[in-house]
Amino acid sequence: MGDAQLSIVAGALYVVATPIGNLGDMPPRAVAVLRGVALIAAEDTRHSAPLLRHFAIATPLSALHEHNERQQTEKLVARLRAGEAIALISDAGTPLLSDPGYHLVRAAHQAGLRVIPLPGACAAIAALSASGLPTDRFSFEGFLSAKAAARRARLSELQADTRTLIFYEAPHRISAALDDMAEIFGAGREAVLARELTKLYETVRAAPLAELAEWVRGDAHQQKGEIVVLVRGAAARPPEALGEEAQRVLRLLLAALPLKQAVALAAEITGEKRNRLYERAVEMKAAGGDE
């Protein structure tokens, strides 16, 4: 879609994804919107200026970062209310994913203003798509704490999570983070390091966590740039079997009551979860009471 075909919506906030490295990934629609809005709110105006110059975008820039977002939001919402269209961009990729912008987007919604997403690059999703790990359920964890104790505590909370886990990590912490993951998740847990995606030194490597940690520790080049770490989820634990006493109570109740009533009363007596009792009751009924 070219500039001539694009109609900028008055008073709309456009959330615009930009490339994470390769400028060829800049969507034409994003270029048209950034040229057409009244103002671009950028995480770091110095960082975004070269990108905008490359695409001949002369729209004024305003800084919106973690230190001034709350103060700037009120001013930007006032301009949106006045009918000006504004675009929000981060340094790279999709705004709000470990980047500022949440307060502005939320305030725009609360003011009844239109928020329009322009999809594009996202390091987490790009890494997931190339990881070879399960993609049906995943959890984006962003950056772990810079403090070792807090980092290890969070990893311990995620130890049994069965979803694929996605982390961003800083170059100077990647080696320590991988060591902690190997210790807490297990040395053999499958993981992927995705580094400098779309750039010249792009790396996507899959290996058990201990092997990945050793490889990164031994190669300083892998401790540079933008890094995504993906970890396979924990194996699902089979549900524990009902205890003998719970089954005895359930069997007696089924002999005298309809299934649902028997299950409800058995749950009250034994403290077992109703869904587990129900499943066992169905099995007992199907077996004809021979168990």
- Residues 186 and 130 both lie in one domain: yes
Q: Helix 259-270 vs helix 274-286: angle between axes, to the nearest 10 degrees? A: 130
From 170-174, 240-244, 253-257, the region with the lowest mean pLDDT: 240-244
From 71-80, 141-150, 182-191, 243-252, the region with the lowest mean pLDDT: 243-252
Cα–Cα distance, 283 to 291 (Å, whole number):
9
Segment 35-60 mean pLDDT: 97
Residue 239 lies in a domain: no
| Domain final residue pick, 83, 98, 121 | 121
Share of the chain above pLDDT 90, in %: 87
- Residues 249 and 210 both lie in one domain: no
- Residues 47 and 104 both lie in one domain: yes
Considering 134-143, 232-241, 252-261, 274-283, the range whose residues carry the highest mean pLDDT is 134-143
Question: Number of folded domains in the chain?
Answer: 3
| Domain final residue pick, 121, 151, 166 | 121
Whether residue 225 contacts residue 196, with contact meaning beta carbons closer than 8 Å, is answered with yes
163 pLDDT tier (thresholds 50, 70, 90): very high
